[in-house]
Every structure is written in C-alpha cells, then in structure tokens.
A and B are shown apart, each in its own frame.
Chain A
Amino acid sequence: MTISGISDSVTAALHLAINGLDARQQAISTNIANLETPNYLAKEIDFESSLRAALDDGDPSQMEISVSESLAATRLNGNNVNIDFELLASSENVMRQKLAVQALSAKYQLIRTAIGTP
C-alpha cells in the first residue's frame, strides 16, 4: 500500500479494516452455511490486534488476518456453530464495516474540499 498525499495511514488503516471485516463476514457466512455439518468447527477471524500492532509500527500493510477454530463446546454431531452468536456477529460486523466506510468517505470528502471539487 502506497502512502502518498491522497492515501495516508488513515485511509490505509480503514482500507485494511474493511478487508478484515470482509474476511470476518465471509467466515460468519461459512459458519451459517455449515450450521448442521457434522464435525464442523466454527471459524473465528482476528485482525484487530494485528492491525493495531502494524499501525504502532507505522506500516499498516503488515496487518495479517488470522483464522482460528472456535473452542466452544460441540453438540452431539461434533458441530459447535452457535446460530444466535453468528447472527449477532454478522449484524455487528456489517455495522462496523459501514462505520469504516463512512469514515473513509469523510476522509475523501476532506481531500475533495482541499482540491476544490465539491
């Protein structure tokens, strides 16, 4: 990711956050698709800690998205997807993504104002 006048560390961080949230949305969708698949363990995505560390180091592109399997108790068929948790997480995730998109739009609005195109 290039850091220039237009894309600074803020847009880079928001871009990566949207990527991470997109990955999480995909994992949640897969968990819902495998709600009753025997021996399926729910996937969990973490990128926030890595993004924070990468921002502290000054290079957001160091962010890594990590996937892990849920440690929740399994049901009789060896599956541990909790549908209530997944649906709540998907709602929350979409809202976070919209928040990041709004922040990015606000940032671009500032740049537009600066270069004089409303």
Chain B
Amino acid sequence: MSAVFGILDVAKSGMGVYKTWLNAVADNIANIDNVTDTASPAFQERFVQVTAVDDQRGFGAGAAVVGADFGDPNGRVNYDPNHPLADENGFVRRPDIDLSDQMVYLQLAQRGYQANVQAFDRARDAYESILSIGR
C-alpha cells in the first residue's frame, strides 16, 4: 500500500468485511422463519467468503470480501398440515438456519468490527504524532 495514510485503509477494509458479515447474519435472522411450499427451495443461509489481501512489501493490506456461499436449498421439511402452503401430504419447507449459530456469528462480527475501529483510532493517533515532526 503506497497511500499516504495506508493503515487507515487497512482498518477500513476490515470494517467493511465485518459489516458485510453483520449484514449477512441480519439477513439470515430476518428470514429464519420463512415458510415455502415443498416445490420451491427454502431460503438459503448466507455465508461471506473473505480473503486476506497483501501489498508488494508483504506487510498486508487488510481483508476483502470475495463472494458468498449459500446454505442447503432443501432446508428442513416440517409436517404442518394446517399451514396454507402445506402440500397434499401436509409438509412445508423451512430454512436450515440455526439461531444460536447466527447469534455467535453476530457476536464475532460485532467484536471484529469494534477491533478494527480501535485499529483505525490507533493508526490515526500514530499519524497525528508523525505529522507533528518538526513543529
């Protein structure tokens, strides 16, 4: 990274990654109770794919989101004969998402975001002191 205040960009890339993860988790939780008929796919859990980014010097340039993975479209088939979407055998499809998993991911993503905010603050502190050279 050759930008003047390159470390701020590194912290920013980290914040972006964890924000994307928070979005994915929020989306999963928002759709956790979706019900579909058995002829359609269930809502698929969203996973974020992340990779480390390097600069020419090898000191690292942060992280980047490179894509998304999706959970099982078959979901879980439940017996719920009174549901309006139930098929002739009384089955409906629900997403295969575990709320406790999502809460753990939520916590990890939130802590990761906070850690990157701290990294940003520290880098700004260091740059401010460097800017005072010769004053």
Which residues of A pack against B, CB within 8 Å?
18, 21-23, 25-38, 40, 43, 45, 65, 67, 83, 86-87, 90-91, 93-94, 97-98, 101, 104-105, 108
Contacts and interface: CB of A to CB of B under 8 A. Distances in A.
7 contacts: A26-B10, A30-B63, A35-B14, A35-B115, A36-B50, A43-B60, A90-B119
A37 B52 CA distance: 7
B134 interface: yes
A40 B52 contact: yes
A30 B50 CA distance: 13
B60 A105 contact: no
B59 A27 contact: yes
B81 to A, nearest CB: 41
Interface stretch (B35-43, B83-91, B95-103, B124-132): B124-132
B30 interface: no
The listed residue with most B CB atoms (<10 A of its CB), out of A18, A22, A26, A91, is A26
B8 to A, nearest CB: 9
Interface in B107-121: 108-109, 111-112, 115-116, 118-119
A90 B116 CA distance: 11
Nearest to A30: B60
B22 to A, nearest CB: 12
A34 B126 contact: no
A26 B132 contact: no
Given A18-B130, A87-B115, A105-B133, A33 B62 contact: yes
Given A29-B123, A34-B62, A35-B14, 12 more contacts: A26-B59, A29-B14, A30-B61, A33-B17, A33-B63, A34-B60, A35-B115, A37-B51, A37-B63, A83-B115, A86-B115, A93-B126
Contact of A33 (B1, B10, B130): B10
B129 to A, nearest CB: 5
Nearest to B63: A33
A101 B125 CA distance: 12
Given A30-B52, A36-B108, A94 B125 contact: yes
